[in-house]
Structure 1
């Protein structure tokens, strides 16, 4: 199976509006070109309203994917399959369940819009992709519903000057607290670099976890998880 999450393939250097006076500059390009991806079984799109999750080149790629799973609102906008929290679809032999996600403080939801995570189950193995979220009861519920083997966590401590100290994704400390509930075998940090609105990088994330607890990915390099 080849599943692509949140395709962004634009070149770096451009500033993108995120709405309500916020914006971010893309500071790094993709590790692979679209032509090098190979055939896709599905695209898992945590949300379509922000360019760091779906940019112009990523949007052009979507029609080539046989299945696109996303939020209910995103599904309506894109003509894709929209899943509400805890709804399930099957891609090949993988059961894909949408999981709750809240992209910031509770007050920001009407402004930021809906997001989702994805729990992927094959046999007795579960890989959970958090999506862009903070820690809130819906995310903690994942631990009560799934025995997560691998947690792929969107981090980076997203902040904007206009919204002050409000955070729109998890910090390393948030992720460590969440993993105390999940107890996954593997923790993979993603979505913490390549854009100017990220305010916490590898050093801060690493410091929040016991030494050796995290699996770090190198862009463009295949990583095998046992």
Structure 2
């Protein structure tokens, strides 16, 4: 299986180069300082800017967008970038909102990327839940992505998306053989919602790694915003204790995770 090259741009935004393909996750390119509204009184400020801008990226074959409704996963600059990508893949509801030929997937559904001289990639939507059950209808849909290269039964790269750990995700993890796992962390909470948490915390991240046992773990989306409650200082010792090969990428630096 080819080793992907990953470039962490900031937050959830990651450039994945895999066997000739160039994929971008959750594009966010705006400068720090702005406060964003997440609905129902929830707000957060962006405190760290991106390491790269769209002009630095070159050709992007597809954007894998875990969800479109929150600015820390798709800000205005990221939204403006979408037409430049060869394809945009996101949730079914997000595709209806974005239009323009966006591919919408429900968990378990697939789409393929094909081009002359390159292996076919199969993109499978994996389940996500952006918080507890009772708040799902308010927060909206989110998915992750499992990327498989033609000729391999294993998942080359899995991106968790913004999710907590729940039974649907456990079932999906049980069915996957993953080489590189990209985990959205941060333990997001908002003052207005009290203790309600919207992304993986340290305990859940460790449980995901223990269940999945990937070759490499790449943490993202744990810094750069005021609504993150756990950062690298908290996650790193816990993830190291799992025995996993954890790669903390330097923003803007292309890294082969072989």
Name whichever structure is richer in strand by fraction: 2
- Does 2:222 correspond to 1:192? yes
Q: Following superposition of structure 1 onto structure 2, how do residues 113-152 of structure 1 map, counting pairs within 5 Å?
A: 113-122=140-149, 123-124=151-152, 125-126=154-155, 127-152=157-182
- What is the distance in 2 between the residues matched to 1:153 and 1:55? 20
- Does 2:137 correspond to 1:110? yes
- Residue of structure 2 in register with 1:78 after alignment: 98
| Deviation at residue 11 of structure 1 after TM alignment | 1.0
Q: 1:89 aligns with which of 88, 108, 111?
A: 111
| Deviation at residue 144 of structure 1 after TM alignment | 2.5
RMSD: 1.1
What TM-score do you get using the length of structure 2 for normalisation? 0.85
Give the secondary-structure state (helix, strand or coil) at the position aligned to 2:256: coil
User: Any unmatched runs of 5+ in structure 1?
Assistant: none
- What is the distance in 2 between the residues matched to 1:37 and 1:139? 32
Aligned length: 226
| Deviation at residue 143 of structure 1 after TM alignment | 2.2
- Residue of structure 1 in register with 2:87 after alignment: 67
- Structure with greater contact order relative to length (CA < 8 Å, sep ≥ 6): 2
